[in-house]
Amino acid sequence: MKMNRILISNAVNLSLRSFAPQRSCVCYAAGGDSAGGRRISKTASNVYGQDSGRGSSRNDQTLNSGNDRSSSSQTSIEVPPPPTRSWRKGQNDVTATKIQRSNTGTLPKDLAYTVPEAQYQKIHSSRQVNTTSASSSTRIEMGNSSVVTADPTWVPRNPGVKDGPWNETDLRIVESAVQDAETAIRISKIDKEGFVMLGRSAEELSELVMKFGQPRFRGKQLLDGLLGGAHSINDIPVIPKQLKKSLKAAGVRTGRSIIHHSVEAPDGTRKFLLQQKDGRVVECVGIPVTASEELGRQERLTVCVSSQVGCPMRCTFCATGKGGFARNLSPHEILDQVMTVQEAFQQRVSNVVFMGMGEPLLNIQSVKDACKLINEQLGISAYNITISTVGIPQAIYRLGQAKLRATLAVSIHAPNQALREKIIPSAKAYPLEALMQDCVRYYDLTGRRVTFEVTLLAGVNDQDEHAKELAALLKRHRLMSHVNVIAWNPVDESEFKRPSGNRVMSFKRILDEAGIPTSIRMSRGLEAAAACGQLRNQHQKDPLKLFAVPT
């Protein structure tokens, strides 16, 4: 599969664009609009419209809305003009640096990182996007070669990040994350061995059984059996034996996982290691909450689900990222996690949070599809689904366009760019100011307030000045938000320390006094290594090891 060029800015910072879970990894030019800038792409032209090519231009900036796999449903997004002081008139004379990988590895040899100079373009105080179309493309000269980029119209950039070009280590970190994402996109469809029934609609299952000469209502029976807990075709009693035999002979399978191991903490939290068809193991957590009239809460069961096998983001405090990254999960594998917890607790799941293994927005299409399945087939309200992310360029906007009504939880972890880069390496590819602007746009699209999560690390980001700076950041963007403060959960082989209870309370108090709605998330499942940041498979020396697949 061909890889697309990835353009990374120099004098200010890096801003990777979209990770698109279609036929190729479509990355938007650093000079493009986050709502649909020009593509630097050699493939998937049938998904995003005409191919950009060299020297071509177009006036209408478009982005898929809703179902990303449909090329016909696109919404036109027009963007404000570039700041005149940032670019010279006519042909842009911009110093650029090209860093090429060796021909080892999976990325093509000519993968180019270009470094244009640009300034942060603020969205108007009204939060309305101007209606000025992008104009002609910009050609950046690089010695004897050149790269065609998009017209540098609206690119959010943090004015505080202007320390010159990245070093080799910085570039490699981002390059590796992009490699991982591209690999996940290419191998995420693991259903080549046969038709998977879980995650299909009654209509799709009806079409399946009709191919075997069965009446349409058999499809509804298959769906009812799956949602009723059937783990194999033989577990669906109302299906004729001959149909069961035919389905199995054709390679049709339910798509349910195997519980490889489970562990329970004293507080009732249970962690499950689920073995997938390809031998990979993913983790999910069931978190029960008992009813309490004194605390004014109802009984509920929350499931923390994974969206990837491992995680490529490599957040410094997180256990999952230390174990490496294998692939994205498919929608039915995410749905299976919810069903597994529901069956184990013999209780209806009320809430689903995408806070397990992986970065959900690097697997955005599967996550969106899974949310719809969880809502439509399991009857869990979309308002009770939370999607957590450290931030992926372009993806927050795409999530907002889908209008899932889910809650967006942004793992911000630091109130300024410099500190955030130390905690989250991928933040170098997504400046904090750009992230905040995308959160504003998400709120404008959905009307849903954004939750900001702050994992406090003792002596790193838990001081009073950090709380004051965070309050100022949120107030400056006038964003309806809520802050969730989390005391870091200890991870083996980590240099960080858990902050004291008094420090956590002081952090919350400062935010409260600033008028920022704040809550403290209580840690659950520490004894089972199931709390946030603890989702590492302690039963594998190699977290990405393949278990033997049962025949």
Catalytic residue positions, numbered: 283, 532
Give the Å distances, CA to CA, from 505 to 105, 411, 462, 497, 509: 47, 19, 10, 16, 6
CA dist 174 and 180 (Å) reads 10
Chain centre distance of CA 347: 28
**475 phi/psi in degrees, rounded to 5:** -70, -35
CA angle in degrees (0–180, nearest 5) for 288-293-297: 40
Query: Which residues lie below 8 Å from residue 224, measured CB to CB, with a gap of 6+?
Result: none
Residue 79 DSSP symbol: B
Give the Å distances, CA to CA, from 240 to 220, 249, 430, 446: 14, 14, 55, 46
CA dist 57 and 38 (Å) reads 8
Query: Which residues lie below 8 Å from residue 388, measured CB to CB, with a gap of 6+?
Result: 353, 354, 355, 360, 409, 410, 411, 453
CA dist 337 and 385 (Å) reads 14
Tokens at 370, concatenated: 């899974």
Query: Quick check: 507 and 485 in contact, CB under 8 A?
Result: yes
Q: Find where tokens 């927050």 sit.
A: 396
Q: Find where tokens 């795409």 sit.
A: 398
